[in-house]
Structure 1
Amino acid sequence: MTWQDDTDAALDDAAHRYARERYEFSARLRLSTAERRFNAAAWRDMAEMGWLSVATPEAHGGFGVRAASIALLSETAGRSLINEPLIGMGILAPFVVAHHASGAQREMLLPPMLAGELRVACVLGDGNFRVSEGRLSGRCEVVLDADIAARFLIEAAGTLWLVEAEAPGVTVASYPLLDGRGAATVTLEHASCTSLGSSDASAVHMATALHLAALATAADSLGAMRAAFELTLEHLKTRRQFGAPLGVNQSLQHRAVDIYVRIAESRAVVNQAVASVQAESPYAARDAHAAKSFVCESARQALQDAVQLSGGIGITEEYAISHYLRRVRVNEQLHGSAEEHLRAFALAPSSFH
């Protein structure tokens, strides 16, 4: 791809090798639910490999805001069913801190965040928070990764606020998501907070942060879809019925082709979004919205077909396809639903006249 460079290729190659060794599916099944949710050693490994530095400018200790790397790493995460919080805490939170914090705050926050030592969960425009006498109150029902966060980055009254997860007045009710990742309902009652930076949150940077998260989520679903398709093809080639492989059935072949077409279309949409975001195109927002809306919906449809093509085994806990289906279903709702992004796509500036 023309939008990839040597750094992208190196990160992608290392990510694939690491994921194959660390996230082999049968080995993951033997882990406890908590171990599958988050592994601190794996998170530090990702930090050392640079996964958490791809959305932070070089001036602040990162590799730059690299849309191609973000997409490639997210695709690997989806393919390998990685539950560590790459998108929320490795991409979204560092980007927001790098672009909104004061110099002193960046020096305090970014090094431990990029090293995998400080985990910050973001609540951007999703909660009902208010500021009174320098303290925050309010509630957000679904805060992705809040179950493992040490701090929260909350948008309220046009400003970003830092809140300690264990501060007085902060209640975190954790729960698992359908696919094994985690979230929590966060309630603040006159909780102590610190404003991030000295001015109001920049609408441009906040929008870019959400576009990166949307693109990363779409790439994650693309990775899950590709992996499930490979398993489906293997099943159709090896599972025999009436003395012949299932794959000789023409109707099953047609359904497999439908999945392949969805993958090819999704790849094209993700590539377009990456190219636009990386080039800072005036149509970057439109293309990011298109990726989130189109790819996540296509992935859900493809995974439903893959489950049916796999027969009864497709819905079992011991078979990876059921896990991929759950992942893409969760991805549909993260960082804006398909319907929300479709509406935003329709309203975004277009190159067509």
Structure 2
Amino acid sequence: MSAMLEDERDDAIRMIRDSAAGIAPRGGDRKRIRALRFQSPGFDPAVWRQMGEQGWIGLRVPEEQGGAGLGMGAFCALAEELGAALAPEPLVHGALSARLLAEAGATGPLERLVAGEALVLTAWQERAGSFDVPGTPEAPRLFLPMADGAQSFLVPLRQGEGFSLILQPAEGADLTLEPTQDGGSFGTLRPRGGETVGTLSAAQMEAALEEAALGTAALLLGVMDQAFAMTLDYLRTRQQFGKPIGSFQALQHRAADLKVQIALGRASVESAAMLCDRADAPAAQRRAAIARAKARAADAALLVTRQAIQLHGGIGYTDEADIGLYLRRAMVLANQFGTAALHRRRFAAAQPEVEA
């Protein structure tokens, strides 16, 4: 990448982070997060519209189709900020639908989605622990986040070597909801009718899901980074035996270990994003980088947030303590778009000669 292009990329990422602070500040409006927990639809439609107005939902959609046309570096920077703020709005899932609709040429639904006027969720997953898209016509589609707030569902159906995309209205849908640890919900959809809005190849579908997996890794990076920052503040202010507990060497060692895990997670996410933004990147190399980033981010986020609870002491285990919100979010995000174990297998398959 030339110096000029690298400067442009860095400027775009800085602007994205600055714009995120206006809607979802890193410190977070945790009163808003708590007010939305275990309520329908689990997110704020007004904030979703703001995200559309900012161009976030269509960040990866080409400009000629109404999007921002930015790269994965910018998208991951945005996702990290939203993860740090615990924003419950399902941006990664909305962006996945936007990319699929754009590639299928479905102009009408795409316009409403990227404007934040509607939430379209892609109903692709048929079983837990899988990254495959069987596209079985009548199979229930699982793990649809905040499905109660969706206006429609994008259902891929297998058609030869590719997929036809069915846009099914949420009204009248056979949908069941289950609460999640973080106060949101997962929906199970049983496909029934709808309008065919386009077709996609298997390669297009896989590439879109891989980008969603990387976006989820960036969300996890934001969650663990902010949880760690809160924990450091607590260690500096909590007094025991007349001095801050952060001065105790044993706790310093634990904090240092967590900082290393966050740094490794950040390096994996950022290197994968840079690779995705290279037009000449080999598919296997890209697949391995994304798999490594998602596996590392999932494991590290669970480790950091659990350790953060422990470092807060007894108060960390109460629901009133904000630090617990970060562990709950990490638990929900860790398995979305593939578990850590699944992505380690994908990494090994893509680069068998490299130790995972």
- Normalised TM-score (structure 2): 0.88
| Mapped partners of 2:183, 2:339: distance in 1 | 19
| SS of match in other structure, 1:20 | coil
Correspondence for 1:239: 238
Contact in 1 for aligned 2:176/2:189 (Cα 8 Å): yes
Measure the CA separation in 1 of the matches of 2:140 and 2:211.
25
Deviation at 1:287, TM superposition (A): 0.7
| DSSP 3-state at the match of 1:13 | helix
Q: Which amino acid aligns with 1:287?
A: A
Q: Is the 8 A contact 2:298 2:340 kept in 1?
A: yes
Is the counterpart of residue 121 in structure 1 residue 121 in structure 2?
A: yes
Distance in 1, Cα, partners of 2:102 & 2:16: 21
Residues 141 and 215 of structure 1: CA distance in aligned 2, closer, same or farther (over 3 Å):
closer
Q: Match of 1:175, SS?
A: strand
2:22 — aligned with what?
17
1:213–1:335 contact (8 Å) kept in structure 2: yes
CA positional deviation for 1:142: 2.4
- 2: CA distance, partners of 1:289 / 1:31: 32
Instruction: Please say if residues 232 and 309 of structure 1, whose CA atoms lie closer than 8 Å, have aligned partners that are also in contact.
Output: yes
Match of 2:182 in 1: 179
**Partner Cα distance (1:253, 1:26) in 2:** 30
Task: Find 2:316's aligned residue among 314, 317, 333.
Answer: 314
CA RMSD of aligned residues (A): 2.3
Alpha-carbon distance in structure 2 between the residues aligned to 1:119 and 1:27: 20
TM-score by length of 1: 0.89
Which SS does the other structure have where 1:226 is aligned?
A: helix
The separation in 2 between residues aligned to 1:14 and 1:36, in whole angstroms, is 25
Please state how far the C-alpha of 1:326 moved relative to its aligned partner. Answer: 0.9
2:170 alignment partner, one of 155, 165, 174: 165
Q: Tell whether the 8 Å contact from 2:23 to 2:47 is kept in structure 1 after alignment.
A: no
> For residues 126-154 of structure 1, what are the alpha-carbon distances to aligned partners after superposition, in whole Å with 9 as ceiling and x for unaligned?
367644xxxxx331242233221111111
User: Structure 2 matches for 1:253-268, cutoff 5 A?
Assistant: 253-268=252-267
Aligned in 2, Cα 1:279/1:187: closer, same or farther, shift over 3 Å? Answer: same
Q: Percent identity?
A: 34
- Paired residue for 1:83, among 84, 88, 95? 88
Structure 1 pair 130/351, CA: closer, same or farther in 2 (3 Å)? closer
1:150-229, aligned counterparts within 5 Å? Answer: 150-158=151-159, 159=163, 160-167=165-172, 170-188=173-191, 191-197=192-198, 199=199, 201-229=200-228
Partner residue in 1 for 2:104: 100
The whole-number CA distance in structure 2 between the counterparts of 1:276 and 1:249 is 41
Q: Confirm or deny: 8 A CA contact 2:13 2:73 kept in the other structure.
A: yes
- Give the aligned partner of residue 140 of structure 1: 141
CA contact (8 A) 2:97 2:121 kept: yes
Q: Is the 8 A contact 1:36 1:180 kept in 2?
A: no
2:79 maps to which of 74, 77, 85: 74
| Residues 29, 318 of structure 1: 8 Å contact kept | no
Aligned position for 1:134: none
Residue deviations 1:17-41 (CA, integer Å, cap 9, x gap): 3223994124543556427821111
Aligned length: 337
- Matched to 1:175, the amino acid is E
- Counterparts of 1:182 and 1:115 in 2: how far apart (Å)? 24
CA contact (8 A) 2:221 2:266 kept: yes
Instruction: State the alpha-carbon separation in 2 of the partners of residues 154 and 6 from structure 1.
Output: 36
Instruction: From the superposition, tell whether residues 22 and 86 of structure 1 become closer, same or farther in structure 2 (CA, over 3 Å).
Output: farther
Tell me which residue corresponds to 1:274. Answer: 273
What SS is found at the alignment partner of 1:52?
A: coil
**Contact 1:11 1:50 (C-alpha < 8 Å) held by counterparts:** no
Residue by residue, what CA displacement relative to the aligned partner does 1:151-204 show, whole Å, maximum 9, x if unpaired?
Answer: 11112223222211224xx3111232211232211123xx2222231x4x2122
CA contact (8 A) 1:54 1:70 kept: yes
Q: Return the offset for 1:212.
A: 0.9
Q: Distance in 2 between matches of 1:285 and 1:31?
A: 35
Quickly say closer, same or farther: Cα 1:344–1:21, change in 2 above 3 A.
closer
What is the CA–CA distance in structure 1 between the aligned matches of 2:91 and 2:332, rounded to whole Å? 15
Q: Tell me, what secondary structure is at the counterpart of 2:154?
A: strand
Q: 1:93 corresponds to which letter in structure 2?
A: S
Q: Does the alignment pair 1:295 with 2:307?
A: no
Q: Deviation of residue 314 (structure 1)? A: 1.2
SS of the aligned residue for 1:342 comes to helix
1:65, CA displacement in angstroms? 4.7
Q: Give the Å deviation of 1:95.
A: 0.5
Q: Which runs of 5+ in 2 are unaligned?
A: 128-133
Residues 86-111 of structure 1 deviation map (CA, whole Å, 9 limit, x = unaligned):
1101x10000111124xxxx221111
The change in CA–CA distance for 1:237 and 1:130 in structure 2 (over 3 A counts) is closer
How far apart are the structure 2 equivalents of 1:316 and 1:62? Answer: 42
Could you tell me which residue of structure 2 aligns to residue 149 of structure 1?
Answer: 150
SS in 1 for 2:116: coil
1:49 aligns with 2:62: no
Could you tell me which runs of 5 or more consecutive residues in structure 1 were left unpaired when the two chains were aligned: 132-136
Which residue of structure 2 lines up, in the alignment, with residue 326 of structure 1? 328
